[in-house]
Amino acid sequence: MFKERVVFVHGAGSFGAAAWPKQHGVALAYDALFLRRHGFDPVAEPLETDFAADAGIVLGALADDGRGAAGGHVVAHSQGAIAAMMAAVERPDLVQSLTLVEPACLSLTAELPATAAHRALMEPLFDVRHSLGDEDFHREFVRRVFAAHAPLHGAPGEVAADNAREARRLRLQAPAWEAPLHIVPGVPTLVLTGGWEPLYEEIAGYLVETGARHRTAPGGHRPQDSPEGDRAIRSFIADVVRSRHARAS
């Protein structure tokens, strides 16, 4: 039986299927792909952020499903939302829906207060990241993030670093406000947030003004891990599929 494709794009912490533990069952109903963004590899050395390469990875996953069909649904978390939006702008014909979970789309809301405050806190650190060691950057990143956000909720940058490779990868991530983002025209979009942090609620509000739906669920920066968040993702994709099939019939 034909299964529509769903592509999952991780944020700055875990990658591939490990970043989406509650969504593995999506493969029962859909052709699910759990991507690895540019520079995320369990063995190879981390690489600098390349926003265009990330978007290309998403588009590559949507371009052909091996059965002569193309396109699908994209579910993206945190910085992964940047690649998802860029892919949808470049090829809206391939992106049937967008689900953006706590999207780090700061370049869209650069002039708004919560985003401006976050950038003012973090930009001085990013400005010197290439002159710092990996552990020093990670330590200061954690200090700044937790100075502004309650630890029990998790942190916007997913700051845990269990080994030297993860600490280096964090230092090499470009700040989200540098991403060349534009509004995605005509693609059904859900924004899922944890309702805990003004920064992400501000971004969600901006996207709602452009036509997106907005839902909240428990889980801090990872609402996709809660039953409510997982249900919201699956329900949204199913609604888009039903609507498209109804229009086609």
Q: Is 232 exposed, middle or buried (0-12, 13-18, 19+ CB in 10 A)?
A: buried
Say if residue 99's pLDDT is above 80: yes
* pLDDT for residue 225: 98
Q: Is 223 exposed, middle or buried (0-12, 13-18, 19+ CB in 10 A)?
A: buried
Higher pLDDT, 116 or 248: 116
Determine the structural domain holding residue 143 and report its residue range: 113-172
Higher pLDDT, 245 or 16: 16
Same domain for 215 and 168, yes or no, is no
* pLDDT for residue 157: 46
Q: How confident is the model over 192-199, as a mean pLDDT?
A: 96
Write down which residue in 156, 172, 188 finishes a domain: 172
The number of distinct structural domains making up the chain is 2
Q: Read out DSSP for 134-202?
A: HHHHHHHHHHHHHHHS-GGG--TT-----SHHHHHHHHHPPPGGGS---PPSS--EEEEE-SS-HHHHH
Chain segment 137-153, per-residue pLDDT in tens: 999 999 988 776 654 44
Chain segment 225-234, per-residue pLDDT in tens: 999 999 999 9
Same domain for 215 and 123, yes or no, is no
Measuring CA to CA, which residue among 108, 102, 142, 136 is closest to residue 122? 142
Same domain for 94 and 187, yes or no, is yes
Write down which residue in 172, 196, 217 finishes a domain: 172
Among 41-50, 61-70, 92-101, 145-154, name the one with the lowest average pLDDT.
145-154
